[in-house]
Amino acid sequence: MAECHQIQKRTLDEAKILLAGTPSKLSGTTKRYTIMSPSEPHRLARSAANLETELRNWRACFDSWIVSQRSYVHALKGWLLRCVRSDRETSRLPFSPPRRSLGAPPIFNVCIQWSRFLDAVSEAPVLDGMDFFAAGVGSLYADRRLREDSSRRLSSGGSRRFGGVMVEAGAQYEEEEEVVTAEKMAEVAIRVLCAGMSVAVSAMTEFAVGSAEGYEGLIKQWKNGKYSLQEK
């Protein structure tokens, strides 16, 4: 998993470099209009809304996965403690990998360290990265929704005398902005996706690498304990 996330991060970093070298239409001095379907902005906004929902679900699943792991290991550790500890005096003693005098099997010490490892691991940066990604995607259609609400208020408000003039002027302004907005939205969407994915995947990569190293240490501890037991 760690290697997979590292490859994803490298790919995103390369994409960001290519994107940074591409001239932006947003910063150009000459306005260039592209004829687009009137439904295009709505389609982009709808896609952004769907993607945000999926990202929120991804975050919830990741959080639930971590919580489930901790709950499982805590339950396993509690069961082992009840099996190994024979009296109150023994239960007050701290446990650490070098303690072999209690006669506990290697798996006992591994589970203790496993539980401590999961308690020490922080998934907060990953959750924050996913929140950042989802919020950025959500902003793509939030602006569109605000403009639509403003347009509805314009068409329903004002006096009878000037209401028609205001609606006509507003409609003309919306028509002029529609093409520009669609083009801007497409370009901003690309940049938001790259930025959000970069933050989320970078955090996931660091978490995956740290987890891989932690589990590698647990495996070594298990093997060392098993070999030590065989030598006895």
What span, in angstroms and rounded, lies between the C-alpha atoms of 165 and 158? 10
Q: What is the pLDDT of residues 154-171, one digit of tens each?
A: 455 544 443 443 334 444
In a domain, 31, yes or no: no
Phi and psi of 105, rounded to 5°? -70, 160
Number of C-alpha atoms within 13 angstroms, CB side, residue 115?
A: 19
In a domain, 54, yes or no: yes
Coil, helix or strand at residue 117: helix
In a domain, 200, yes or no: yes
What domain range is 218 assigned to?
40-87+104-153+180-231
User: What's the rounded mean pLDDT across residues 121-141?
Assistant: 92
User: Does 146 score more than 80 pLDDT?
Assistant: no
> Which DSSP state fits 29?
S
- Which pTM value belongs to this model? 0.67
Phi and psi of 32, rounded to 5°? -120, 120
In a domain, 20, yes or no: no
Residue 31 backbone class (left: φ over 0; alpha: ψ -120 to 50; beta: rest): beta
Highest mean pLDDT out of 35-39, 97-101, 160-164: 35-39
CB-CB contact of 35 with 210 (8 Å): no
In a domain, 65, yes or no: yes
Highest mean pLDDT out of 6-10, 43-47, 170-174, 202-206: 202-206
In a domain, 10, yes or no: no
CB-CB contact of 34 with 183 (8 Å): yes
In a domain, 18, yes or no: no
CB-CB contact of 137 with 52 (8 Å): yes
CB-CB contact of 39 with 221 (8 Å): no
Report the domain count for the chain: 1
User: Does 96 score more than 90 pLDDT?
Assistant: no
Coil, helix or strand at residue 74: helix
In a domain, 14, yes or no: no
